[in-house]
Amino acid sequence: MRILLAEDDQVLADGLCRSLRGVGYAVDHVASGKDADSALALHEFDLLILDLGLPQLPGLEVLKRLRARHDGLPVLILTAADSVEQRVRGLDLGADDFMAKPFALNELEARVRALVRRSMGANSSMLRCGPLVYDQVGRMAWLNDQPLELSAREVGLLEILLQRAGRLVSKEQIVSRLCEWGEELSHNAIEVYMHRLRRKLEIGDSVRIATVRGLGYCLERPSEPTGNP
């Protein structure tokens, strides 16, 4: 999934980007509140990690403007000032979670996973579609109880399709979720990765990825068995 990190401490930002990319997220970084506000207005993200002490535009003002646009994007606030007053202000303005610096990277990763699950309406890290099971924490998939060997791109595609199982996903949506700024992924490349993923999933016709030409792809939910009349 795609995360916007708004943090002006370059050393901390580099560490967070490496950590989050290492567990499979696409991460775009901005170092000012003004750039964060512009990015949020122009692009789609799955999560905002927001430092409050940003130059040009304070983090709380970025959050205020985001919610004024009726954008329900999950927001995790980072701040060096661990005060009750700032927590209250941030939560009242619509933040979803709050972490004070310094923090442990594994705790931040866990909170990111929880916020993304919550935004998708899921109570568990496990996504299921018939005999297909995917662990969003371990980024592992099983089909008919057998582990699937997937590349990083295939894992990303599978996660997107599973989170929207039964719904159409366009190539543009796939690119926006998988790619960071400056990273290119052509529609032809998506077709190649989708073809490889489809071959691994459609063994025994247990799971099917439907292609709607010119529109996108859909991971079809298995039909429920019907009883005898």
Q: 2-119, what's its fold?
A: Rossmann fold (3.40.50)
Q: Which of 39-48, 75-84, 139-148, 163-172 has the lowest mean pLDDT?
A: 75-84
Q: For position 115, what pLDDT does the model report?
A: 87
Q: What are phi and psi of 171, to 5 degrees?
A: -65, -35
The Cα-based distances of 119 to 49, 112, 114, 122, 123 in angstroms read 14, 11, 9, 8, 10
Q: Could you tell me the pTM of the whole model?
A: 0.67
Give the torsion through C-alpha atoms of 139, 98, 67, 59, to 10 deg: -110
Q: What is the CATH number of domain 126-220?
A: 1.10.10.10
Q: What is the DSSP letter of 204?
A: G
Position 228 confidence tier, pLDDT thresholds 50, 70, 90: very low
Q: What are phi and psi of 64, to 5 degrees?
A: -60, -45
Residue intervals in the chain for CATH 1.10.10.10: 126-220
Give the chain's mean pLDDT.
84
Helix segments in 120-211, DSSP class H: 152-163, 171-178, 187-201
Residue intervals in the chain for CATH 3.40.50.2300: 2-119
